[in-house]
């Protein structure tokens, strides 16, 4: 795996707004995230957003805003179970929503990369 500099990025233009991304397409600034970039990132990842995706994304953003840390997958599954029903409160269900795993969910939710080096 090649190391990369998360500060080196590209500019994504969506409408009149510019978004700054690193080489792995993560937003460089958590506060820049909005629906257009969310939809662009999800499309790029091959994820068709549903109400369940939006709930999970909202939880990820709220958790990160409060704790300044990424939630662990069990915490996310627990929240999905509380809000969407026990049958949807599993890690298996979370992976059905985000087949690329937790980092794919973090990316679409606009959270910063968890690790920046190899």
Evaluate if residue 2 carries a pLDDT over 70.
Answer: no
The CA–CA distances, whole Å, from 118 to 3, 7, 102 equal 5, 15, 18
Q: Where are the domains of the chain?
A: 9-108
Show the tokens assigned to 39.
């939809």
At 113 the pLDDT is: 87
Alpha helices per DSSP H over 1-118: 35-45, 51-67, 73-84, 91-97, 102-108
Judge whether residue 1 has pLDDT over 50: no
Over residues 21-25, the mean pLDDT reads 90
Residue with tokens 């939710």, as numbered in its chain:
109
Q: What sign does the dihedral 118-64-50-96 (CA atoms) show?
A: positive
Query: pTM score, two decimals?
Result: 0.88
pLDDT at 115: 65
- Give the length of the chain: 118
The answer as to CATH 3.40.50.2020 being correct for domain 9-108 is no
- CA dist 67 and 55 (Å) reads 18
């Amino acid at each position: 795996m090649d190391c990369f500099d998360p500060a080196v990025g590209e500019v994504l233009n969506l409408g009149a707004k510019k978004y700054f991304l690193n080489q792995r397409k993560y937003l460089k600034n958590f506060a820049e995230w909005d629906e257009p970039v969310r939809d662009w990132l999800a499309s790029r990842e091959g994820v068709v957003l549903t109400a369940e995706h939006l709930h999970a994304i909202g939880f990820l953003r709220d958790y990160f805003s409060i704790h300044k840390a990424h939630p662990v997958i069990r915490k996310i599954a627990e929240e999905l179970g509380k809000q969407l029903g026990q049958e949807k409160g599993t890690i298996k269900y979370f992976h059905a929503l985000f087949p690329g795993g937790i980092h794919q969910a973090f990316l679409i939710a606009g959270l910063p990369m968890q690790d920046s080096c190899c």
